[in-house]
A and B are shown apart, each in its own frame.
Chain A
Amino acid sequence: MTHLRSKRLPAPRTSPHNVTAPLDPEEESRPMKTSIRNRRSRRAAIAVALGSVLALTATACGDDGSGSAGDKGNEGSGKGEITFWDNNGGVRTDIWKQIIADFEKKNPDIKVNYVGIPAASAQSKYDTAIQGGGLPDVGGVGTAMLAEVAVQGALEPLDSRLAKSSLNGELSEKLLDSSRAAGGGKALYQIPTSSNNGVLWYRTDLFQKAGLEAPTTWSKFYAAADKLTNKGKNQFGFTIRGGEGSIAPALDAAYSQSGVTSFWNGDKTTVNDPKVVAALEKYVALYKKDTPSADVNNDFTKMVAQWDSGTIGMLSHNLGSYQDHLKALGADRFRGLPNPTLDDGKRVQISNPVDGMSVFKSSKNKAAAWKFVEFAVSHEENSKFNRSAGQIPANTEAAQDAWIQKAEPTKLAAEALNGSDTTIVQLPYYLPDWNTISKADNEPNFQKVLLGKMTAKAFLDTLADQLNKAQADWKQNH
């Protein structure tokens, strides 16, 4: 029908003026025509202006986003502009801008362009840039994503630069080992800036009222969780992480109680070792008994928010939430201890993600990028950064600074991390599939365990199968 209609009467090409033309054009049409002409020219002007704005917007100050994984880049002159991507943009923006200002003052011939990326999207931003171009010269890359970025050939090995640098011997060996292991073990792709550590935050006022001792051992932890729970009053002893990011805290609790000190036994993982299974069963049994039932969906945001709202005795998180607790509860109502030990004082904990900086292979100015890394991890700047972030400095001199002695949770975490009684179970961050296995593949299963729809053993057996396969694949390619 449309076809017929459109053919029925061809659209005329005449001017539209006569649509509204009066009978006596001599007398009456002049003002009308003028008005139409004015209106038209006004519309034309608006259209041109709008078009110009859009065109200018569309092309203004764009760049070609060059720099993908295939680019070899070059050393450059050590002067000019470099781009730095902060993988935890927003909260850390101010401190990074201070460090950049200090750097540019000391190196007036280098300009650093800061780009803050939301933490949750850093991995996808890097992945897109690796495939499509637009990688920075230098960027923040944590150990949790290091393997995936390194395996795509995007990172510059930094061993020889570190060996010749003033930083050589100044950085924590334990953190350097973690960085090296996370990158696959062959080369150093990340200079560590800071480490996080698991912390058991507890409410000192509630513990005091209930006559409880600080939860330094697992026995004291379970006793306190029971005693502080009063479901009728909506009070709970503990809050468990059942939603996004649940696997690492669950493994931390399980390994810590089991006394198993290595993630691998030959080529097979120990995650389904009977001692680990028993420890996880005990931990999971807290759900609903001593925790809110809504915990099955807890990511760290909800978990921290409900602990800060004041009805829960203990929370297992890391140093990163210290400022949130401080704002919500004040300094006198809570403390942060390293995760509990076994009754004999033996401490086992899983490796926590190490944050750090990497130089990208595609950089056209690697010399300037490296200068920036050296500066940012130097004693003064690394101390400044970690004081702001509430984390453990990678620079060993910075780790001795006065502020860290006054910040109890950070000090205790640093002591636990570096203590001779501590054994760290290294999680396989180097496996390119680690993020998939520890998140998408198994977080739903952990929720099933909490809800009683899957046993802890079945959950850990599934996890072990996936890890053993990923490890075998990785070994085949390395």
Chain B
Amino acid sequence: MTIKTLDTKNLCESAKCGGCGECQTSCQSACKTSCGVANQECENTENK
């Protein structure tokens, strides 16, 4: 049986250094009629 785990950002870890607020607001760039945050880029330059 196989389980392949993708390399992903650990959300629990991001609690330690996240929240800088520099990222884009959620529907600013294209949709204007719905909301999602999954496609927002993290802009925290210190944690990259």
- A, B: real partners: no
Using a CB–CB distance below 8 Å, which chain A residues touch chain B? none
